[in-house]
Amino acid sequence: MKRTRLRPVSAKRRKVNAERAKVVATLRETRRGCEGMALLKAAAHNAPQRDQEAYVAALRACNPWQRYLQPHEPLKRSRRSGGLADPDRIMMLCDSCHAFTEAEVRLSTEAGMLIPSWRG
């Protein structure tokens, strides 16, 4: 069997990861409730009719008081440019809203849950 070594984590990235873990722990204490809910509500309100059903379904699935909200970077580019530990670039989402940002890129972008790199 051919075994592949795990890709080593650079010292710099290890430091960023540790900082990020601290920032996320703090955000879990200070930002209560899924931040996706307000964005989905506004989007559902403003969306053209054809998109409303998807937003309403996402709103129904949102679990705002989930105990461990997931850190999400609306600006994907920030994952590469040192923004991983920047609390201003982290949105705390419930599992359902986090999955919505992966599955519904266009709707999430229109709702402000994803920011295209060219707009960052």
Beta strands in 22-104 (DSSP E): 70-72, 91-93
- Closer of 77 and 95 to Zn ion (Cβ): 95
- Nearest-CA neighbor of 36 among 120, 116, 112? 112
Among 24, 34, 47, 111, binds Zn ion (CB under 5 A): 34
Size of the site for Zn ion (CB under 5 A): 5
Binding-residue pattern over the window 94 to 113 for Zn ion, x denoting contact by CB under 5 A: x--x----------------
Q: Which one, of 62, 57, 61, lies nearest residue 44 by Cα?
A: 57
Is 24 an interacting residue with respect to Zn ion (CB under 5 A)? no
Q: Which CB sits closer to Zn ion, 9 or 65?
A: 65
